[in-house]
Amino acid sequence: MQRAAREEAEREGPEQEKKTEAGAPETQSGAQAEEEKRAAPNYDGRGPKPTTFGEGLLWVPRVILSPLWLISKYVIAAPLGALVTTAEKNHWPTWLIDFFTFGEEHQAGWIPLLLYDFGLRPTFGVYFFWNRALSRGNSLAATAVYGGNDWFALGLSGARKFSDRTSLSLGASLARRPDAPFYGIGPSSDDALRSRYAFQRVEASTVLEWRPAYWSVLRATVGFRDFKFRTGSCCNDPSVGDRIALGQLPPPPGFGQPYSVWLGRANVELDSRRPRPASQSGARLALNVEEDVDTFNTPHSWIRYGGTVGGFWDVTGQARVLSLSVITTFVDQTAGSVIPFTELATLGGAQPFVGFLPGRLYDRSAIAAQLRYEWPIWAFIDGELNVAVGNVFGEHLDGLRAGLMRLSSGFGFRSSRDGGPGFEFLIGIGTEPFDTGFRVSSFRFVIGSTYGF
């Protein structure tokens, strides 16, 4: 038996060597294996996903805005991404939430506020909040901000949510500051005449909000506003009073005259877009009207009204949104002889003219068109590129013409969560009117927490 087994092994040896010599090698090098890597299986028979029209057309704004995009990506987004990665790896968000909030469900807490807006005084403060205060539908918030000598602001608000559709909120605020800028009235006001005025403003309001559907919001507001001019200036700029005394500026309407008004306001917003992660393509219409009546001083009143209409295109379906909006504001006298310049239509500070300081432009009406591109950077943080064209004009856009239009442009990122103070990083520029050379005359740099004072 052993002899038979040995003879069988001797016969199989040469045969196995022949198979090995004639067949393919048993192993391959890494490079060969990579070259012969099997293609991805096409299980559903539909082939690779085709490039959409939106993805192709997206290259047009990408090429045009590539310089700003490179700055945004490598100067802003890359460092921010590295910071976010480090924060998540070391569990910073959890530590921060535990440090700044209280309660088992983190329903109360505080947030430090720091804001630097180039051309205005830097400020710091604190924001307190208490959600589900005493009952699940209640919320309370308080804000305190300080900006140096004669600059402070206080705010207190509370809200009651009756249902998913209806809520009532109460709020009051006091703000005193000496650094409000003023350049004059009209579309051609001169940057060389920048001056400052000091003021104190007290406001109180009650707001009823109703959301009959996901695409609609209606707000009704009644309130009170008291405004007083104060003496002084800051920031190495002359005061408005100094400019007037030197004959460099005509006295703006209502300058130096206090006023106290009862106000009524109505807002209607219609927005077809659903919350993320749904597509952000859609349309938005916002209309507002407010009447202010002064019965405490010289009897006079005015009405402010306007609206915004915009279209939004989510070009990739991933909240990368290209939008075009038109914004208008009108202010009309309804009684008396003067509208205080601080109540006129204005552009600057917030959208759409982010390249100008707040209060840069004043007149009886304003119009602007804005092209804007937004994209998500991180949870609750969106990047933004925008360019806007417009200006302020006389009553009912009197004097409107293309040569008087100004351009504003900006890029940066901001928090996208609603409610409470937000965070913003912004670099913007603004120009003179087109027919006076289209020269860049305004530079704006903002970083910190925005809080609405």
Give me the domain span that covers residue 373: 108-450
Pairing of strands 216-230, 259-271: antiparallel
Mean pLDDT by 10 residues, the chain (453 residues): 50 49 48 56 63 61 62 68 75 77 85 93 94 88 94 96 95 96 95 95 97 96 97 90 94 94 98 92 98 87 97 92 97 92 95 93 98 85 92 97 95 76 90 91 92 74
Cα separation, 407 vs 366, whole angstroms: 14
Domain assignment present for 279: yes
Q: How many domains does the chain have?
A: 1
Yes or no: say if 279 and 312 are a contact pair by the CB < 8 Å rule.
no
* CATH classification at residue 339: 2.40.160.50
Could you give the maximum distance between any two Cα atoms of the chain, in Å?
Answer: 128
Cα separation, 334 vs 316, whole angstroms: 48
Domain assignment present for 1: no
Domain assignment present for 76: no
Yes or no: say if 364 and 331 are a contact pair by the CB < 8 Å rule.
yes
Yes or no: say if 372 and 323 are a contact pair by the CB < 8 Å rule.
yes
Q: 307-351 pLDDT, tens per residue?
A: 999 999 999 888 999 999 999 999 999 998 899 999 999 999 988
Cα separation, 255 vs 184, whole angstroms: 12
Domain assignment present for 60: no
Cα separation, 29 vs 52, whole angstroms: 39
Domain assignment present for 194: yes
Q: Which residues pair with 327 in a beta bridge?
A: 308, 368
Domain assignment present for 57: no
Domain assignment present for 48: no
Q: What is the pLDDT of residue 421?
A: 83
Domain assignment present for 283: yes
Q: 381-438 pLDDT, tens per residue?
A: 888 999 999 999 999 999 999 999 999 999 888 886 666 788 899 999 999 999 988 8
